Amino acid sequence: MTQEMDWWAFERVFAADGWRVVCGVDEAGRGCLAGPVFAAAVVLPFGLEIDGLNDSKLLTPLRREALFDVITEKAVTYAVASASAAEVDAVNVLNATFLAMNRAVEKLSPQAELVLVDGNQAKGIQYLCRTIVGGDGKSASIAAASILAKVTRDRYMRRLSAEYPEYMFEQHKGYGTVLHYEMLRKYGPSSVHRQTFLKKMH
């Protein structure tokens, strides 16, 4: 952790208010054309310093993998869950994200007393929560969740590439890259593509 950044500022405020088990929640893959949206929920030991912890988007894949191991080893409790591409199509991606987040929080033991959610929307969260805009770059708990969600989803998309090698998921992880669109034009969508995200292609 950088010295000038207080990764525990938010958690410290809530701890002072009496909240003992505070978890951070974040998602990965919300903007993808294919695959599930993943969410992670993490409760860290209060004040734990994890060297190099940051918003997952600012880290290299190698660094994220290394931090994944540290976080899962040292967390009080953590869980990762997902909502499928079919669920994204059925209820829209925002509601599917809430589904994944609720599923992750539900699996925590001990159960979280307060959930810190990255972003500014939490209307679909079934637990007592607070939103923090840019939380993955401000809160240790949310940053940890962002890493677990991102790494787990990337691993899933690499496995999916073995089933659907023609789409090269291992390269773009389902995001709307030039390569992905090229493969979609060549082969058409698969059962793991989000049909509602592909309408603009037709």
**Binding region for a divalent metal cation:** 26-27, 118
Packing angle of the helix pair 140-163, 61-74 (nearest 10 deg): 120
Give the CA diameter of the chain: 57
The C-alpha atoms of residue 64 and residue 80 are separated, in whole angstroms, by 15
- Residue 154, classified by CB atoms within 10 Å of its CB into exposed (0-12), middle (13-18) or buried (19+), is buried
Q: Which residues are annotated as a binding site?
A: 26-27, 118
- To the nearest 5 percent, what fractions of the chain are helix, strand and coil? 50, 15, 35
Contacts of residue 201, Cβ cutoff 8 Å, sequence gap at least 6: 181, 184, 185
